[in-house]
Amino acid sequence: MAEIQLRNVNKRWGSFVGVDNFNLTIADKEFLVLLGPSGCGKTTTMRMIAGLEDITEGEIAIDGKVINNLDPKDRDVAMVFQSYALYPNMNVYENIRFPLRVRGVDASTHDERVRRASRMVELDDFLHRKPAELSGGQRQRVALARAIVREPNVFLMDEPLSNLDAKLRVSTRAQIKNLSHELAVTTIYVTHDQIEAMTLADRVVVMQKGIVQQVGSPTEIYDKPANAFVASFIGNPAMNLIDGEMRGGVFETQRTRVEGLRAPDGKVTLGFRAEDASIAEDGNGQITAPIYTLELLGDATMVSVRIGQALVAVKADKSFRAEIDDTVSISVPADICHVFDTDTGKRLSA
């Protein structure tokens, strides 16, 4: 069992706050993703759990035991870094085996454990090769196997896919998802890629400027973002956000009028997702504007218009035909909309 508790955890360097009052319980065998832009504090949080960064204030406990003062080697965690950190003079077999040698594990068990880890990440045909003879995806799998072979209480993964090309990221992501199911070990995964977060996580922690913005399942965060930042960070494309005025349940700004909303009067930001809106064939949509750009995605056509400073996207059928600067009408029913306070970003709609 490996339940992890972070209690009022803070990290400061002088006056700079890297992580601000982080509180969370990570369940045994949970796959938790820390998500946010560069500099949001997600890697710092992971490094404090690993013991690679000192905690300024607060406590971290694993299975009820406070680990603040334990050395990294005594925390029973295995970390996979963005850089593969492989030993170039060792072949794949010896790279995977290395943690067992360092920790003084009974040598008679090494071969079985190395080959089990190798088999899990499909490296059996590469055990004799040196890292220089491997592709980026294969090197990352060696790094994963080296973490697996330790059989730790906790896996920590710091952007392990960011150095891979798009196709390899998809296949390696699937492998990590399958591994997490097979190994059933508490895993904390850091990424700035919201697709990785949505596909891998049991729960997602969205961070910005060292502060937790929202914690929830991928579905909860996608369907009901707590604030405009989370709304803008989750989704591909991100949620459309349009600044305007709310009066008596009606949102208005240039080229846009949406009726039937539940939100207080005043300055608000209207949000909706591209896949929830549609092209109004009858011309009676809530937004009417000239087309700014068209993108054929294969299964759909992304149509974008400009409303003030905002670029607003809607997914149309792949057969949709139009030209840039043609006027288009977009249907945005009230029941697909989210409303946020323009000043604080806080969610206002139910």
Mean pLDDT is highest, among 27-31, 132-136, 149-153, for 27-31
Q: How confident is the model at residue 141 (pLDDT cuts 50, 70, 90)?
A: confident
Q: Where are the domains of the chain?
A: 4-228, 238-341
Residue 98 pLDDT greater than 90, yes or no? yes
pLDDT reported for residue 350: 61
Q: What is the pLDDT of residues 146-204, one digit of tens each?
A: 988 888 889 999 988 887 777 878 888 888 888 888 888 999 999 999 999 999 999 99
Return mean pLDDT, the chain. 92
- Nearest Cα residue to 36 out of 215, 268, 278, 284: 215
The answer to whether the bond into 131 is cis (omega within 30° of 0) is no
Residue 244 pLDDT greater than 70, yes or no? yes
For range 51-77, the mean pLDDT: 93
Question: Helices in the chain by DSSP H: which ranges?
Answer: 42-50, 92-102, 110-120, 136-148, 166-183, 194-200, 218-223, 228-233
Only one residue has tokens 């060792």, namely 90
Q: How confident is the model at residue 2 (pLDDT cuts 50, 70, 90)?
A: confident
Kindly give the pairing relationship between strand 57-62 and strand 4-13: antiparallel
pLDDT reported for residue 1: 65
Q: What is the dihedral of CA 163, 166, 168, 173, to 10 degrees?
A: 90
Residue 28 pLDDT greater than 90, yes or no? yes
| Burial readout 213-223 (b: 16 or more C-beta within 10 A, e: otherwise) | bbbbebeebbe
Q: Is the pTM of this model over 0.85?
A: yes
Is residue 158 a contact partner of residue 82, using CB atoms and an 8 Å limit?
yes
Three-class DSSP category at 220: helix
Three-class DSSP category at 82: coil
- What gap in Å lies between CA 299 and CA 91, rounded to an integer? 44
pLDDT reported for residue 171: 82
- What gap in Å lies between CA 185 and CA 175, rounded to an integer? 15
Q: How confident is the model at residue 340 (pLDDT cuts 50, 70, 90)?
A: very high
- What gap in Å lies between CA 128 and CA 158, rounded to an integer? 27
Only one residue has tokens 């905002």, namely 310
Q: What is the pLDDT of residues 250-292, one digit of tens each?
A: 999 999 999 999 999 999 999 999 999 999 988 899 999 999 9
- What gap in Å lies between CA 113 and CA 134, rounded to an integer? 22
Q: Across the beta sheet with 16-26, what order do the strands follow?
A: 16-26, 4-13, 57-62, 65-66
- What gap in Å lies between CA 133 and CA 135, rounded to an integer? 7
Helix axes 166-183, 136-148, angle to 10 degrees: 10
Residue 82 pLDDT greater than 80, yes or no? no
Q: Tell which CATH classification among 2.40.50.140, 3.40.50.300, 2.60.120.380, 3.40.50.2000 matches the domain 238-341.
A: 2.40.50.140
Only one residue has tokens 């982080």, namely 22
Burial tier of 85 (Cβ tally within 10 Å: 0-12, 13-18, 19+): middle
For range 227-253, the mean pLDDT: 95
pLDDT reported for residue 272: 97
What is the 3-state composition of the chain as percent helix, strand, coil, each rounded to the nearest 5? 25, 35, 35
Is residue 297 a contact partner of residue 288, using CB atoms and an 8 Å limit?
no
The residues, ordered by sequence, that sit 6+ positions from 305 with a Cβ below 8 Å of its Cβ are 255, 287, 289, 290, 291, 292, 311, 312, 328, 330
Write down the CATH number for the domain with range 4-228. 3.40.50.300
Within 13 A of 138's CA, how many CA atoms are on the CB side?
17
